[in-house]
Amino acid sequence: MRSPTLPAASDSVVEATVLPRLIRLGPNLCVAAFTLMKLLPARFMLDRAEQRGELAPDTTVLETSSGTFALGLAMVCRLRGYPLVIVGDPAIDPALRRRLGELGARVEICTEPSPRGGFQQARLDRLEELRAVYPNHYVPGQYDNPDNPNAYAAVAEQIAETIGAVDCLVGPVGSGGSTGGTAAFLRLPQPHMRLIGVDTSPSAIFGQTDGPRIVRGLGNSLVPPNVSHAAYDEVHWTGPAEVVRATRELHARHALYMGPTSGASFLVARWYAERNPDAQVVAFLPDEGHRYQDSVYRDEWLAERGLLDGPAATVPRTVTDPGDAVGGWARMEWRRRSLDDALRGAAARPGPVPVPVPAPVSVSVSGEQ
Amino acid sequence: MTTAPSGTAVRIRGTHQSVGHHGEILQGVFESDGRLRRALITLPCPLYESHAVFEPSDTSTGVTVLDPWRTKAGRAAELALRTLGGPLTGGTLGLTSNIPPSRGFGSSTADVVAAIGAVYDAAGHRPSPAQYAALAVAAETASDALMYAHRAVLFAHREGEVIEELGGPLMPLAVVGFGTSEDSTGTDTLALPPARYSVWEIEAFRPLLGAARRAVRTGDVALLGRVATASARLNQRHLPVPGLTELLRITEAVGAAGLQVAHSGDVAGLLFDPDLPDLATRTDHARKRLADLGIGDSWYFTTKN
């Protein structure tokens, strides 16, 4: 066998791991498996800010995040020498907090949720205060910075070159950057490409009333401006039981050790690929499983929450109103509508009135990206 | 190369020919070596050719062009002579071309490429594509990738450099071409200010280039057609093609792989896979649909590698 041509060494771990590995799991199902997806928008946003002259060597980077975007930013800022302050909430786990500290980031925790918008809003309020504390600052703002979706052109290029035409893209929706950004680029040559957004309930992103969630990294208490609702053909709300089962299967069957957002994405993509054998499906898997060793990957943790052997749906319920999607796995034909139009369509439909959202199974953390 | 006796000295007459092109499959800005460069992928058009003949002269220095208005070709021949650095000192350049000017067929670049080739031929040399490109850009500010003929390259037309080899020759394509401006007078390519692309557009060229690489590597006409259509859509904000929506409707109705436009000219083409069993039916249909739209003048050609 001919030995492959070895590429040159990368300049940093960011350069080496910023793009996903494209892995075929079936004849019409490919996954884009990221080590840490948020490295991509973190790097791109800082690149663009540098080009615009918004970052000097002593500029402090301020951002609110309790998840992987904080880690992506901390890695890029450490390598480029920018001081970083992260505003998080109690959902930030101790291991991540230690990693951020090791990378030189200052982490502030909001201990009280805001009456409106919960911890997400409390973090945004604290960020506003910090702008005055650090006059020389730059806020990447992943939820409303258009450079977040723009960052995904690099992934669209990789997919277009490696896979060619894609009929359906599936991915979890947090900030709206990865799914909305990639779809906009892939639709240039392929305008009919279907985009399926994966959320969980209760989550505000696609029109539900916010509430506590079990699965971390999925769902949001606010609607990020970067979520372009009219980009989605279909939305799925996945339940915790299906998500953890799919995450474990992804590992046990395909040896892909990924986090629960990846499991949710895989669950929906596999369902769609099986029902549409002629459609080439690509699913985003945003991060690896190491952060979840003591939760999703530990049987005791699952058993305590009734998620180990409890019932898990194998197909989604189809709903026409986001309010009806609370609980287990449900899907809705979104049909590239705005949030208002989709909700108006739901309200105009004869049938059950949307019910108030009950809290799901007992909950220990409120997870947000 | 032809030799012709003239008195006692033997003078060598140099000849060269270059095809025209049919605009671009993809044009935009692309990151290369950490900076953004304007570049394009050319669609060659063998319907049209420019032939150059260079007659060296022992007595003259410099180039006399038989058609004095062909100043760019004359300049290119002068530059070629200077680059060769002898033994030729001058001569006469004659050009015959059937390429309509100013329509996006690359008439001046074809003249320039033919002229450079003829001078080199007279000196017994053959320039590399990179030498052609450098001389062509020096002679006319920007150049198309005609010197690369059927090799698929991403070409920085204002610098005369290949940014990237796409991984093989351009696959054969069947093209129904037509003009998109009402009076068919075309556009002065170089008088156009370079397009100012938005941040999103600049990023959008990445996946289109990725798709083009795959299309060339795998011979996927359908995918290349999609790239051409997408590039035409992006160009619409910068140099609008009249009736683009209608043209896209026709593209779909006749089952063409894509719609390709000259990004700084007025020709456009419906791209087809030349191996389609019902190609003739489809191209007939396409010409009828174009005629219904008031586009009576259309032409057909195939590219080969």
Closest CB to B213: pick one of A48, A159, A161. A161
Phi, psi torsion values for A359, nearest 5 degrees: -70, 140
Residue A48's pLDDT is 95
Cβ separation of B210 and A159 shorter than 8 Å? yes
Say if A150 is an interface residue toward chain B (CB within 8 Å): yes
The verdict on domain A39-138 having CATH code 3.40.50.720 is: no
* DSSP string across A267-285: HHHHHHHHH-TTS-EEEEE
Residue A287's pLDDT is 95
pTM of the model: 0.90
Predicted-complex ipTM score? 0.88
Nearest CA in chain B to A48: B199
From first to last of its 369 residues, what are the pLDDT tens digits of chain A? 445 567 789 999 999 999 999 999 999 999 999 999 999 999 999 999 999 999 998 999 999 987 899 999 999 999 999 999 999 988 788 889 999 999 999 999 988 888 877 787 888 899 999 999 999 999 999 999 999 999 999 999 999 999 999 999 999 999 999 999 999 999 999 999 999 999 998 999 999 988 888 777 788 888 999 999 999 999 999 999 999 999 999 999 999 999 999 999 999 999 999 999 999 999 999 999 999 999 999 999 999 998 988 888 999 999 999 999 988 899 999 999 999 999 998 876 554 444 443 333 322 222 333
Task: Please list every residue in chain A whose beta carbon sits closer than 8 Å to the beta carbon of residue B203.
Answer: 150, 153, 185
Determine the Cα–Cα distance for residues A20 and B179; give it in Å rounded to an integer: 43
Q: Please choose, from the candidates B140, B127, B249, the residue with its C-alpha nearest in 3D space to the C-alpha of residue B188.
A: B140
Q: Please choose, from the candidates B178, B212, B272, the residue with its C-alpha nearest in 3D space to the C-alpha of residue B28.
A: B212
Position B296 confidence tier, pLDDT thresholds 50, 70, 90: confident
pLDDT tens per residue across span A28-55: 999 999 999 999 999 999 999 999 999 9
Closest CB to A189: pick one of B199, B203, B208. B208
Nearest CA in chain B to A158: B210
Position B187 confidence tier, pLDDT thresholds 50, 70, 90: low
Say if B206 is an interface residue toward chain A (CB within 8 Å): yes
Domain spanning A13-36+147-345, CATH class: alpha beta
Cβ separation of A147 and B199 shorter than 8 Å? yes
Quick one: DSSP state of residue A249?
H
State the average pLDDT for chain B: 88
| Beta-sheet pairing, A194-200 with A317-319 | unpaired
Q: Looking at B28-167, list the stretches that DSSP marks H as alpha helix, in order from N- to C-terminal side.
A: 71-84, 107-122, 129-140
Quick one: DSSP state of residue A1?
-
Q: Is A291 helix (H, G, I), strand (E, B) or coil?
A: helix
Q: Which two tokens stand for residue B284?
A: 């007939």
Of the two residues B172 and B4, the one the predictor is more confident about is B172
Cβ separation of A160 and B208 shorter than 8 Å? yes
Say if B252 is an interface residue toward chain A (CB within 8 Å): no
Measured CA to CA in angstroms, residue A240 lies from A99, A171, A310, A318, B28 at distances of 27, 16, 11, 18, 45
Cβ separation of A160 and B214 shorter than 8 Å? yes
Say if A158 is an interface residue toward chain B (CB within 8 Å): yes
Cβ separation of A159 and B207 shorter than 8 Å? yes
Cβ separation of B220 and A164 shorter than 8 Å? yes
Residues of chain A with CATH 3.40.50.1100: 13-36+147-345, 39-138
Contact present, A244 and A307 (Cβ < 8 Å): yes
Token pair 């590429």 is at which residue? A7
Give just the sign of the alpha carbon dihedral A292, A294, A300, A306: negative
Residue of A44, A145, A150, A185 best to disrupt the B interface, most CBs of B under 10 A? A185
For A223, other C-beta atoms within 10 Å of its C-beta total 17
Largest CA distance in chain B: 66
Determine the Cα–Cα distance for residues A150 and B80; give it in Å rounded to an integer: 44
Determine the Cα–Cα distance for residues B200 and A358; give it in Å rounded to an integer: 41
Interface of A with B in 176-205 (CB under 8 A): 184-186, 188-190
Position B182 confidence tier, pLDDT thresholds 50, 70, 90: low
Say if A91 is an interface residue toward chain B (CB within 8 Å): no
Q: Please choose, from the candidates B206, B213, B245, B253, the residue with its C-alpha nearest in 3D space to the C-alpha of residue B229.
A: B245
